[in-house]
Amino acid sequence: MQRLSILRRVFSSFILLLLLTSISVVGHAREWAGLYHGKISGQPSQLTLNRAGNDIIGVLDTEGYRYKLEGNIQQGKLIGFCRDIKSGETGQLSASVTKDVIIIRVVLPGYHRPARLVFERADDTSSIFTKMASL
């Protein structure tokens, strides 16, 4: 009888640990995906990110001028590139996310210093799939 009670407690603890791990993974995935707003050179900008596993794809749109972002998450940071959709020029990027803020560092061809871009999560994420479908 006592063994059965111990087994139940061990099993319950295992299930609880499994649930907490699942919640943590889902929460971590949400940190990246979404719709964000910021400014680039004083112009309103929108960042749309989608996540599949550790892969991130997104669009950065500033007044109709668009960049495609692609990369993957390595040790909690996004490492990848951004491509100017019109010219095809490609730059390297790295990004980190903290709660509802994404900070992107990007180095574009011809520039020696990285640009630092800050975006905050938007409340309305209804247009994410529309933006992603237009790629």
Q: Is the CB of residue 43 less than 8 Å from the CB of residue 24?
A: no
Q: Domains of the chain, with CATH numbers?
A: 33-133 (2.40.128.20)
d(CA 72, CA 116): 19
71-103: b (≥16 Cβ within 10 Å) or e: bebeeeebebebebeeeeeebebbbebeeeebe
Query: Over the stretch 1-28, which tens digit does the pLDDT of each residue have?
Result: 565 455 455 444 444 333 333 333 334 4
DSSP symbol at 85: T
pTM for this entry? 0.68
Query: Over the stretch 60-84, which tens digit does the pLDDT of each residue have?
Result: 999 999 999 999 999 999 999 999 9
Question: How many angstroms separate the Cα of 124 from the Cα of each of 5, 37, 46, 96?
Answer: 48, 11, 12, 21
